[in-house]
């Protein structure tokens, strides 16, 4: 066999081994749960849903009218209008194109309270579940509106941080009680319709708007963002 043919054959075998190794590695990651894609056919209902453990980051895009219920674990809700993608400790939830948002107004998404939740171009109601929520909940809003709605319990959240940007609005209603609330505003708004805060700190810029009840205004520590 000519040397040139040997080189070609060796290169082909090396490429074949490399492709096989990549496929084996990806399959192993898939089996370990590092890459998981859920669609409306593979997800299950909340009551019978399989919990997704170790979710630390959640991103919600283009979802309007649904409710987030923060608890101990994430669970998937079967709904033809949403797609779910899990990548390791990150869960991505997105509305499908041409979705009639009224079709998901009943939808409840169960998410872990200790995860960092990013809400983008969405309108969401945030509630607490029956589990202990003493740890800090972190919510980022971008071009979104979030209604933080109370459950009637003495304390809905122990600690909560909200970062609102790009014309977002965070509204506290129905007696939502937070022991320690921190809010950062950038061209956004904080509305205190019916909130109860033990401690309240706000960092704002010159264009954001703040509306507080007198009882919460008196205890608020408000500073301006130097940026």
Q: Is the domain of 115 the same as that of 188?
A: yes
What one-character-per-residue DSSP string does 142-204 give?
ES-EEEEE--SSS-SEEEEEEEEESS-EEEEETTEEEEEEEEEEES-EEEESSEEEEEEEEEE
Backbone angles phi, psi at 37, to 5 degrees: -115, 130
Task: Give the range of the structural domain holding residue 179, as residue numbers without chain letter.
Answer: 35-224
Q: Is the domain of 155 the same as that of 171?
A: yes
On the question of pLDDT at 163 being above 70, the answer is yes
Q: Is the domain of 117 the same as that of 205?
A: yes
Structural contact between residues 149 and 129, judged by C-beta atoms closer than 8 angstroms: no
On the question of pLDDT at 67 being above 80, the answer is yes
Pairing of strands 82-87, 35-38: antiparallel
On the question of pLDDT at 225 being above 90, the answer is no
Q: Is the domain of 9 the same as that of 71?
A: no
Q: Is the domain of 117 the same as that of 6?
A: no
pTM confidence score: 0.75
CA dihedral 146, 151, 153, 154 (to 10 degrees): 20
pLDDT tens-digit series, residues 91-100? 898 888 766 6
Please tell me which residue, 5 or 136, carries the higher pLDDT value.
136
Q: Is the domain of 161 the same as that of 57?
A: yes
Q: Is the domain of 24 the same as that of 72?
A: no
- What are the b/e assignments for 152-190, b being 16+ CB within 10 Å? eeebbbbbbbbbbbebbbbbbebebbbbebbbbbbebbb
pLDDT tens-digit series, residues 73-85? 887 776 667 888 8
Q: Is the domain of 22 the same as that of 116?
A: no
Q: Is the domain of 220 the same as that of 125?
A: yes
- The helix (H) or strand (E) run that includes residue 21 is helix 3-31
- The helix (H) or strand (E) run that includes residue 10 is helix 3-31
Q: Is the domain of 24 the same as that of 91?
A: no
Q: Percent helix, strand, coil in the chain (nearest 5)?
A: 15, 45, 35
pLDDT at position 45 is 33
pLDDT tens-digit series, residues 3-43? 555 556 666 666 666 666 665 655 555 455 554 454 433 33
Q: Is the domain of 166 the same as that of 188?
A: yes
Q: Is the domain of 23 the same as that of 40?
A: no
Number of domains the chain is built from:
2
């Amino acid at each position: 066999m000519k040397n040139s043919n040997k080189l070609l054959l060796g290169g082909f075998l090396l490429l074949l081994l490399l492709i096989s190794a990549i496929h084996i590695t990806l399959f192993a990651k898939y089996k370990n749960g590092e890459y998981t894609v859920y669609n409306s056919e593979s997800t299950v209902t909340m009551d019978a849903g399989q919990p997704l453990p170790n979710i630390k980051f959640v991103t919600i895009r283009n979802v309007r009218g649904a409710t987030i219920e923060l608890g101990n674990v994430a669970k998937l809700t079967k709904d033809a209008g949403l797609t779910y993608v899990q990548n390791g400790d990150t869960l991505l939830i997105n509305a499908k194109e041409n979705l009639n948002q009224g079709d998901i107004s009943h939808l409840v998404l169960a998410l872990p309270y200790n995860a960092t939740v990013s809400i983008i171009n969405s309108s969401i109601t945030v509630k607490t579940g029956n589990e202990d929520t003493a740890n800090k909940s972190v919510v980022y809003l971008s071009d979104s509106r979030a209604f933080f709605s109370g459950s009637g319990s003495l304390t809905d959240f122990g600690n909560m941080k909200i970062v609102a940007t790009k014309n977002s609005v965070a509204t506290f209603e129905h007696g939502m009680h937070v022991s320690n609330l921190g809010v950062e505003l950038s061209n956004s708004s904080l509305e205190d319709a019916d909130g109860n805060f033990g401690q309240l700190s706000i960092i704002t810029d010159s264009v954001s708007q703040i509306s507080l009840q007198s009882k919460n205004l008196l205890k608020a520590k408000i500073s301006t963002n130097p940026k």
